[in-house]
Amino acid sequence: MKTKAFFQAIIIGGGVPGLTTAILLGQAGLSCALIDMAELPSGPLPKPGTRTIALMDSSLNVIKACGAWDDLKPHGAPLKTLSVIDDSSLNVDPLRVDFHARDAGMEAFGYNVANNIIHAVLSKHARACKNITLLTPARVKTIQTEPNVEITLEDGQVIQGDVLIGADGRGSIVRRHAGIDVSERDYGQMAMTCLLTHTRPHHETSVEHHRPGGPFTFVPMHGNRSALVWVEKTEEAQKLLKLKKDDFEQAIQDRSRGLLGKITLEGTPDSAPLKLLYAKSLVALRTALVAEAAHVMSPIGAQGLNLSLRDVAALAETLIDGARVGLDIGAQSVLQNYQNRRRVDIASRIHGVDGFNRIVSNNLVFLRGFRRAGLRSLSAIPPLKKFVMHQGLVPMLDDARILRGEVL
């Protein structure tokens, strides 16, 4: 058996949340090991993939704290206006409400960046951090968390640590090992994602159409290009994905009502089933969960990764503050502090997005009327619109210093 190496934090999962966690901790002087089954990207940046992330202002502060924003900004498109359109029926005129960043005192709500570009840039920064050891590709064979964390990899390597962080997605092995139960529900929907060019400018506006099958959202990219996130009932989505390119483009054209002019599809659409999942605890013995290991939701309102990065910010800050005063960062009292900080934000987003998805993805007459009445109220009552904008788009339910753009 190989010599055991010790790290203050062991992170399983090399996606954006896991990399961000490792970089924040490593930059603060904590030794970290990051384990993932796949090799992390290296070399030149890839072409943008079909899945993009609308990084809101607080999430940008997390990326900036990692030192990665200067590399990412040239690849991002600003989101200066977010529009919601009730588009319940082709026989009823759409009802639109616009939220302008300037009304919240901001230049932009955030930036839209391809997920694979974010991943590649963060991978570069993780490789450059002397306190981070990347164990990729590698598979976990066993996990032990008592009296300390001990991970055995399939190649026989053993590593030990103070705290184990599960950033390994909705099928999290860390969560399963910790015995943390989840609540979950299949939405019976699929999200289709693709990149498009169009003949009309998007004016740096993200437009979310609310239709009976689910939200149909254009998010701006550079030039006359946008990413589309199209949610439909599973059966309908499977039919759409079988269409020829011209027919798929026409389906987008019809549903967009020509808002962006003529649509041209770039590449092949991707798709994924949608579900609701949330862990009943974020912590267990020497273990903490972040991101989709802890919660999965509908893509309405671009809440997913932004919520995940708030997990990362709170956990990193909690562990760093604990280490600075000499605490055992894997102690239950330290981890419980992380859970207490995140409980309200996660619960409010999970239940809020779930409830909103039920209302939006429904063609019952009374719910359609309720949706439209709500949008009319937002248009007619500016203070209500401002409140919704701040709570939904500029959330401040966690006061992590990183989220405010302050130094750790």
Give pLDDT tens digits for 41-94: 998 999 999 999 999 988 999 999 999 999 999 999 999 998 888 776 656 677
Q: How many CB atoms lie within 10 A of CB 98?
A: 15
Provide the token pair at 147.
């009296």
Domain ranges of the chain: 5-77+115-184+276-359
Q: What is the pLDDT of residue 301?
A: 60
Give the model's pLDDT for residue 317.
97
The ranges of the chain with pLDDT < 70 are 1-3, 88-92, 300-302, 355-398
Q: What is the number of helices (H) and of strands (E) in the chain?
A: 11, 19
Q: What is the pLDDT of residue 290?
A: 98
- Neighbouring C-beta atoms of residue 42, cutoff 10 Å: 9
**What fold does the segment set 5-77+115-184+276-359 form as a domain?**
FAD/NAD(P)-binding domain (3.50.50)
Strand partners of residue 274: 189
- Say if strands 32-35 and 132-135 run parallel, antiparallel, or are unpaired: parallel
Q: What is the pLDDT of residue 385?
A: 45
Nearest to 104 by CA among 321, 359, 387, 296: 387
Q: Do residues 276 and 187 lie in contact, with contact meaning Cβ atoms separated by under 8 Å?
A: yes
> What pLDDT does residue 211 have?
81
Q: What is the pTM of this model?
A: 0.90
Nearest Cα neighbor of 283 from 148, 175, 149, 159 is 175
